[in-house]
Amino acid sequence: GQSLEQPSEVTAVEGAIVQINCTYQTSGFYGLSWYQQHDGGAPTFLSYNALDGLEETGRFSSFLSRSDSYGYLLLQELQMKDSASYFCAFSNQAGTALIFGKGTTLSVSS
Partner 1 sequence: GAGVSQTPSNKVTEKGKYVELRCDPISGHTALYWYRQSLGQGPEFLIYFQGTGAADDSGLPNDRFFAVRPEGSVSTLKIQRTERGDSAVYLCASSLSGQMNTGELFFGEGSRLTVL
Q: Which is nearer to partner 1, 15 or 44 (CB)?
A: 44
Q: What are φ and ψ of residue 80, in 5° steps?
A: -55, -35
Minimum distance from residue 101 beta carbon to partner 1 (Å):
5
Distance CA 73, CA 59 (A): 11
Q: Which is nearer to partner 1, 32 or 108 (CB)?
A: 32
State whether the Cα torsion 76-71-51-85 is positive or negative. negative
Residues within the interface to partner 1 (CB under 8 A): 30-33, 40-45, 48, 50, 87, 89-92, 94-103
Q: Which is nearer to partner 1, 46 or 108 (CB)?
A: 46
